[in-house]
Amino acid sequence: MQLDNLVSSDSLEKEGWTALERSILYYKGRPVGTVAAYDATVEALNYDQCFIRDFVSSALIFLIKGRADIVRNFLEETLRLQPKERQLNAYKPGRGLIPASFKVVCEADEEYLEADFGEHAIARVTPVDSCLWWVILLRAYVVATKDFSLAYKPEFQHGLRLIMELCLATRFDMYPTLLVPDGACMIDRRMGIYGHPLEIQALFFTALRAARELLVCQGNEDIVTAIDNRLPLLQAHIRQHYWMDLHRLNKIYRFKSEEYGKAAANPFNIYADSLPYYELDRWLPRKGGYLVGNVGPSQLDTRFFCLANMMAIISDLASEEQSQAIMNLIEERWEDLVGDMPMKICFPALEDEEYKIVTGCDPKNIPWSYHNGGSWPVLLWFLSAAAVKTNRVELAHKAVEIAQARLHLDEWPEYYDGKKGRLIGKQARKYQTWTITGFLLAKELLRNPTFLPLVTFASFSVEPASRACEFELVEANTLYFG
Ligand code: GLC
């Protein structure tokens, strides 16, 4: 260990701030976002762009530090990139979508923003999470600045409405969850998370709650009613069908299959043999549990996904009891989920034949690397927010200490590889912005838990805009919180 290279927590934070400043993206002289990574040693690919999901971590720390202007500029510019017309061309992004990323292009002294809705991205993945993050961020901006006027602007109300229309549209399936293609979120490569992955459901739930606070009811009665109807159904569906603990494992183990009709105890027809019973039986602590990765017809993906579980705690998608059980699991299975770098994006990794079939032999997602069981420092802030929410801050402090010991020496990598997260990710960028902001945010949230409401909700959260249709609220709230 090079002792002289060890830095104190204070100077690490200073170093993080300097790197964050350097990552700010300017457009027509105004700061509008942050690049994904500022690593001059490798080809930029699209890491020199501002990713919507990555920027959320930057935005929250900017809001905490009073730099709301950048967040406001970002919200305005990305709203402009949102397609407003109904598209008949299947290769064009649908109305309401927010891009995965954007870049500033300079041509003949003219600057403009170019959006990527997945049409340039590797494997052409659809960024479903971007529009959900956008709504969540708009609400965080309003919470931080009390500047409701931005959200009430007609163009913002229109943008919100388009996102809600896109998410709440009638579809083929009859679940309250959102049906999406593979790689539609942070894990933006084929990883077997198509269908109804938990990460999308947790963000969807959070975005619905945020939109409910921001939408002016007048003129949006249909959407507001749709949100009020959807929230309790979505919450109950996830709490019931995605939950996994020893008690539930026992139930599933003895499930009958091929049950026809509405009264089925095993409505998704999960075949007991499809679950890794003996591993789960060994792994699940007596008092711990978590929300599984995905549920669908004869499908129960028992992998633990970190961002999804943390967002479920943060947004109240998980019940209080479930939230405590998730934190118990992290504590009891610390070596697996945190190890030498907080924290695993998912656990366990897909291996052997399963890895080949599910990832399509993706060399970047080999077992215990990148999205397939790699460790991502950005998840530190999600863990910290969940820890503050559940009064389990000691876990977050422990995790921050582990990260602190390495981030400077390792130059803030995007992710780590290996079962314990000891190896710097094979193709990880250095000076990855959300690694930096993940650490800074975790520090701030632990230092000052009053920042938590940027991402959490009061149990009865009805903001002024909603009062216009109070009659609907009474009914919805009886359902939802009653
Ligand atoms: C990778 C990650 C994605 C992130 C992007 C930019 O593609 O999987 O979640 O947004 O890099 O950092």
To the nearest whole percent, how much of the chain has pLDDT over 90? 85
Altogether, the residues listed in the chain come to a count of 482
Summary mean pLDDT of the chain: 92
Q: Would you state the pLDDT for residue 467?
A: 42
Q: Which atom of ligand 1 is nearest to the CA of 51?
A: 10
Q: Would you state the pLDDT for residue 112?
A: 97
What is the 409 CA–ligand 1 centroid distance (Å)? 22
Q: Would you state the pLDDT for residue 171?
A: 86
What is the 257 CA–ligand 1 centroid distance (Å)? 39
Report how far residue 180's alpha carbon sits from residue 167's, in angstroms, rounded to the nearest whole number: 10
pLDDT digits (tens, 9 = 90+) for 86-106: 888 888 898 999 999 999 999
Q: Which atom of ligand 1 is nearest to the CA of 53?
A: 10
Average pLDDT of span 457-462: 64
Whole-model pTM? 0.94
Ligand 1 binding pocket mutation candidate from 39, 45, 54 (most atoms within 8 A of CB): 54
User: CA torsion 5→6→9→11, rounded to 10°?
Assistant: -20
Q: Which atom of ligand 1 is nearest to the CA of 122?
A: 7
Q: Would you state the pLDDT for residue 399?
A: 98
Q: Would you state the pLDDT for residue 5?
A: 52
pLDDT digits (tens, 9 = 90+) for 125-164: 899 999 999 999 999 999 999 999 999 999 999 999 999 9
What is the 67 CA–ligand 1 centroid distance (Å)? 24
What is the 333 CA–ligand 1 centroid distance (Å)? 26
Residues with CB under 6 A from ligand 1: 36, 51, 53-54, 186, 188
Q: Which atom of ligand 1 is nearest to the CA of 36?
A: 12
What is the 188 CA–ligand 1 centroid distance (Å)? 7
To the nearest whole percent, how much of the chain has pLDDT over 70? 94
Report how far residue 360's alpha carbon sits from residue 87's, in angstroms, rounded to the nearest whole number: 31
More confident residue, 329 or 7: 329
What is the 308 CA–ligand 1 centroid distance (Å)? 16
pLDDT digits (tens, 9 = 90+) for 391-449: 999 999 999 999 999 999 999 999 999 999 999 999 999 999 999 999 999 999 999 99
Q: State yes or no: pLDDT of 1 exceeds 50.
A: no
Average pLDDT of span 244-271: 94
Q: Which atom of ligand 1 is nearest to the CA of 186?
A: 9
What is the 100 CA–ligand 1 centroid distance (Å)? 9
What is the 185 CA–ligand 1 centroid distance (Å)? 9
Which of 264-268, 325-329, 347-351 shows the lowest mean pLDDT across its residues? 264-268
pLDDT digits (tens, 9 = 90+) for 21-74: 999 999 999 999 999 999 878 888 888 999 999 999 999 999 999 999 999 999
Nearest Cα to Cα of residue 183 among 219, 237, 145, 130: 130
- Residue having the nearest C-alpha atom to atom 9 of ligand 1: 186
Report how far residue 412's alpha carbon sits from residue 436's, in angstroms, rounded to the nearest whole number: 6
- pLDDT-derived band at 479, boundaries 50, 70, 90: very low
pLDDT digits (tens, 9 = 90+) for 220-249: 999 999 999 999 999 999 999 999 999 999
Q: Would you state the pLDDT for residue 45?
A: 81
Report how far residue 52's alpha carbon sits from residue 108's, in angstroms, rounded to the nearest whole number: 27
Q: State yes or no: pLDDT of 459 exceeds 80.
A: no
User: Which residue's structure tokens are 């998608």?
Assistant: 317
Nearest Cα to Cα of residue 372 among 342, 410, 422, 417: 417
- pLDDT-derived band at 461, boundaries 50, 70, 90: very low
Q: State yes or no: pLDDT of 4 exceeds 70.
A: no
Q: Which atom of ligand 1 is nearest to the CA of 433?
A: 12
- Residue having the nearest C-alpha atom to atom 7 of ligand 1: 188
CB neighbours of 313 closer than 8 A, spacing ≥ 6? Answer: 323, 326, 327, 386, 389, 390
On whether the CB atoms of residues 61 and 445 are closer than 8 A, the answer is: no
- pLDDT-derived band at 481, boundaries 50, 70, 90: very low
- pLDDT-derived band at 473, boundaries 50, 70, 90: very low
Q: CA of 48: how far to CAs of 34, 52, 382, 410, 435, in Å?
A: 9, 13, 24, 20, 15
Q: Would you state the pLDDT for residue 6?
A: 64
Average pLDDT of span 279-302: 96
Which of 289-293, 339-343, 459-463 shows the lowest mean pLDDT across its residues? 459-463
Ligand 1 binding pocket mutation candidate from 188, 190, 379 (most atoms within 8 A of CB): 188
What is the 236 CA–ligand 1 centroid distance (Å)? 31
